[in-house]
Amino acid sequence: MEARKTFRGPRAAASLALAAAIAAWSWAAPAAAQAPAGRAEPRTAAEILAAVEAAERSETERSTYAMTVRDKAGSRSYRVRMLSRGSEESLIEFLEPRTVKGLRILSLDDETWAFFPSTGRTRKISGASRSGSVQGVGGDFSYDDLGSGTWSKDYAFAIESESASSWVLAGRSLKPDGSYDRVRMTVDRALLRETSVDFSTPKDGFFKTLSFSGHKSFGGRLMPSRMEMRNPAKGTSTILELEEAVFDEPIDPRWFSPERFSK
């Protein structure tokens, strides 16, 4: 699976993910502290992004996260499961607490559906709703952040600056109706992983930041154990801590069907 925008470099985030993004996370190789010896370092923004996304690619992923939402109302804790197949299909399911257990978010390319167990109904998330936080949960990750897709598909990047330890890539949205008009991504040169992504809208400018830290081996792949989306203006943050991850194992196709994922 390639890097999603936040949830995988987690939009993985930045694609959720990040959205995953994020949700492209490990060279399909054992976790390493730096790039393989002898490998030519990428020189252009396209080469850097291609290396990051190749490093994060897998056929499938099944992972579990602890989520903490902090806002003016206090702190709330959740536990979520993420399933993905390729770069365009992902499902997020809330496992705890009981008040939101069974809440599911299905993303297929640019389309998103949410199943709300409290009503037993499935709702298609479209338009401005995609940039809003998850109903019943809140937090700093939007439906779009938690969706599927890749950075290279959604943004055109150029190198903004670089240092001995990192590159900063400036991304311009390729989608007129995208949730963000620009992103700014910092990539660690040794790890070839995103360490932060800043998000901008025409109205607010750069207003929130997704950071990735604690990189270590999960299922033989180098992944950040912690992702945090912060909105300084609001004084809020949402933290995702990776508990476990399994790659390249079969996943029941029903989880990626708009007609069946709620059952």
- The DSSP line for 98-160 is TTTTT-EEEEETTEEEEEETTTTEEEEE-GGGGGSEETTTEEEEETTTTS---HHHHEEEEEE
CATH 2.50.20.10 holds for 45-256: yes
Which residue in the block uniquely carries the two structure tokens 């240092």? 163
Q: Tokens standing for 239?
A: 């933290």
Residue 129 to residue 73: CA distance in whole angstroms:
22
pLDDT reported for residue 165: 97
Q: Interior CA angle at 185 toward 28 and 140, to 5°?
A: 100
Every domain of the chain and the residues it spans: 45-256
Alpha carbon distances (Å) from 193 to 12, 69, 128: 12, 25, 30
* pTM of the predicted structure, to 2 decimals: 0.85
Q: What is the pLDDT along the chain (263 residues), one digit of tens a residue?
A: 444 454 543 434 434 333 333 333 333 333 333 444 556 788 899 999 999 988 888 899 999 999 999 999 899 999 999 999 988 899 999 999 999 999 999 999 889 999 999 999 999 998 888 899 999 999 999 998 987 778 988 999 999 999 999 999 999 999 888 899 999 999 999 999 999 999 999 999 999 999 999 999 998 889 999 999 999 999 999 999 999 999 999 999 999 999 999 98
Q: Tokens standing for 164?
A: 């001995």
